[in-house]
Structure 1
């Protein structure tokens, strides 16, 4: 339950930070890049 609340709050802060659809796309792209880097490092 607490994890769900924290995840929801984090998502709200992220979405509040990007004011446009373009900004949201850039944020999602950056998150994808970080996930890809972490995956490469763990190999």
Structure 2
């Protein structure tokens, strides 16, 4: 293996690792957003029931 081949393989591996990390972060952010929406809706329902 030449130095160029090793460098290309290392760069591809680093890129794949970075993209994988971004995917996990985005997935987690989506779950957090969904939880925030649910909590907001629940709070709205509680306020509505308390006002009646």
Q: What's the TM-score once normalised by structure 1's chain length?
A: 0.56
Say what the alpha-carbon RMSD is for the aligned residues: 0.4
Runs of 4+ in 1 over 2 A off after TM superposition: none
Task: Kindly indicate whether structure 1 or structure 2 has the higher relative contact order, using CA contacts under 8 Å at least 6 residues apart.
Answer: 1
The residue that corresponds to 1:14 in the other structure is: none
Task: Give 5+ residue unaligned stretches, structure 1.
Answer: 1-18
Greater helix proportion: 2
TM-score, scaled to structure 2: 0.47
Give unmatched runs, 5+ long, in structure 2. 26-52
